[in-house]
């Protein structure tokens, strides 16, 4: 009896352990996806290799992707440019990090607090409010540059960190993503929390936000990328050099030097420094982004 059972179990295990076979169509699709992935990775490979190229390789013709003699000279040059100046590079980097982190916190908080009442409280005119937010997506950033400057100037926040943060707090895409995610939360769940005595702010922080973490992660990535690469606030709202950010500093490295050799290596190193935080943030939260795109709230 035991021997028979063991034989049956062994046969079942072998059938389950049999490797999964792909159909010809699936094999072709897999090969195409691998080739597409390699093609998509080429810009990343180029950025890393370009930052490590010495000057004699940076200006090779035809240009090459792979570096032959890796060197840290470009990073040394980048640091030396501001080493003896009144404003060190570390100050620009600190400003960028602080502004980016603060922007992420403010944008996610404001987007969530705006989307929650529109989605669940259904106050009079909530459709009009949400429609107005969506209409702002039609405006190009250049069309609101002058009104934005007047608002920041009249508020007296020029040359302050608020001048960096205020223009980037309102993100219509963030409100839209949060509302679409919160719409999937069952009203019964929120009503049960209210019956148990939970206050509105407690429900928002301990129920809504944890469940909507995929949307929060996606909005955080969008906000971080916008803030980390932003040069507009430093150009328009900051006259004090100590309040300007690292992207603005990079833009000054090769300004009016499009056909010049000078500082091209430092610019390549700076481009890698600018790119790395975006890559790290995306790799950390990529699973959350996929979940958000699939609209997978509570099933």
How many separate helices (H) and strands (E) can be counted in the chain? 16, 0
The three-state (H, E, C) secondary structure of 136-188, written as one string: HHHCCHHHHHHHHHHHHHHHCCCCCHHHHHHHHCCCHHHHHHHHHHHCCCCHH
**Closest to 182 in 3D by CA, of 116, 110, 125:** 116
Instruction: Supply the pLDDT for residue 56.
Output: 81
Which pTM value belongs to this model?
Answer: 0.78
Q: Is the pLDDT of residue 110 over 70?
A: yes
Q: Is the pLDDT of residue 159 over 70?
A: yes
What confidence tens digit (pLDDT) does each residue in 37-66 have?
888 888 888 888 888 888 788 877 777 778
Percent of the chain past pLDDT 90, that is, above it, reads: 10
Residue 296, preceding peptide bond in cis (omega within 30° of 0): no
Q: Is the pLDDT of residue 2 over 70?
A: no
Q: Is the pLDDT of residue 264 over 90?
A: no
Q: Is the pLDDT of residue 21 over 90?
A: no
In the numeric block, which tokens belong to residue 66? Answer: 């792979």
**Closest to 296 in 3D by CA, of 211, 203, 189:** 211
Q: Is the pLDDT of residue 221 over 80?
A: yes
Residue with tokens 């409280």: 121
The CA–CA distances, whole Å, from 27 to 15, 16, 20, 33, 39 equal 22, 21, 12, 10, 18
In the numeric block, which tokens belong to residue 249? Answer: 């500093």
Q: Is the pLDDT of residue 13 over 50?
A: no
3 state SS of 49: helix
Q: Where are the domains of the chain?
A: 1-40, 80-293
Q: Is the pLDDT of residue 286 over 80?
A: no
- Give the mean model confidence (pLDDT) for residues 21-38: 86
Instruction: Supply the pLDDT for residue 103.
Output: 93
**Closest to 134 in 3D by CA, of 155, 117, 150, 114:** 114
What confidence tens digit (pLDDT) does each residue in 82-97 have?
776 778 888 888 999 9
Q: Is the pLDDT of residue 98 over 90?
A: yes
Residue 254 CB neighbours (<10 A) = 16
d(CA 234, CA 164): 7
Any idea what DSSP says for residue 258? Answer: T
In the numeric block, which tokens belong to residue 142? Answer: 């250049």
Q: How confident is the prediction for the chain on average, in pLDDT?
A: 81
CATH superfamily, domain at 80-293: MetI-like (1.10.3720.10)
Higher pLDDT, 21 or 66: 66
The CA–CA distances, whole Å, from 12 to 7, 17, 20 equal 9, 9, 15
101 pLDDT band, cuts 50/70/90, is very high
Instruction: Supply the pLDDT for residue 288.
Output: 66
- Host H or E run for residue 112: helix 89-120
Instruction: Supply the pLDDT for residue 17.
Output: 47
27 pLDDT band, cuts 50/70/90, is confident
Length of the chain, in residues: 299
255 pLDDT band, cuts 50/70/90, is low
105 pLDDT band, cuts 50/70/90, is very high
Max alpha carbon distance in the chain (Å)? Answer: 89
Provide, for the chain, the percentages of residues in helix, strand and coil under a 3-state DSSP scheme, each rounded to the nearest 5. 75, 0, 25
Task: Encode burial over 73-111: b for 16+ CB neighbours within 10 A, e otherwise.
Answer: ebbebbeeebeeeeeebebbeebbeebbebbbebbbebb
């Amino acid at each position: 009896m035991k021997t028979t059972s063991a034989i049956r179990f062994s046969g079942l295990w072998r059938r389950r352990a049999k490797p999964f076979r792909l159909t010809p169509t699936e094999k072709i699709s897999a090969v195409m996806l691998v080739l597409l992935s390699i093609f998509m990775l080429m810009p990343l490979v180029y950025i890393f290799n370009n930052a490590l190229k010495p000057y004699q390789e940076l200006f090779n013709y035809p240009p090459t992707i792979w570096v032959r003699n890796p060197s840290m000279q470009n990073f040394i040059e980048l640091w030396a440019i501001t080493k003896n100046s009144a404003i060190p590079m570390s100050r620009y980097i600190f400003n960028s990090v602080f502004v980016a982190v603060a922007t992420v916190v403010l944008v996610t908080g404001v987007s969530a607090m705006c989307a929650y009442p529109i989605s669940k409280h259904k106050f009079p005119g909530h459709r009009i409010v949400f429609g107005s937010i969506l209409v702002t997506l039609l405006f190009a950033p250049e069309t609101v540059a002058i009104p934005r400057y007047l608002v920041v100037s009249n508020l007296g926040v020029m040359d302050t960190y608020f001048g960096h943060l205020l223009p980037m707090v309102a993100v219509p895409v963030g409100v839209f993503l949060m509302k679409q995610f919160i719409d999937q939360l069952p009203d019964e769940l929120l009503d049960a929390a209210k019956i148990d005595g939970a206050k509105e702010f407690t429900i928002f922080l301990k129920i809504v936000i944890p469940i909507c973490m995929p949307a929060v992660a996606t909005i955080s990535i969008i906000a971080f990328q916008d803030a980390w690469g932003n040069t507009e606030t430093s150009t328009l709202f900051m006259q004090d050099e100590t309040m300007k950010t690292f992207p603005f500093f990079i833009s000054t490295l090769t300004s009016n030097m499009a056909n010049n050799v000078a500082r091209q290596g430092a610019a390549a190193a700076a481009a890698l420094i600018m790119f790395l935080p975006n890559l790290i943030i995306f790799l950390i939260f990529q699973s959350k982004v996929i979940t958000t795109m699939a609209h997978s709230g509570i099933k």
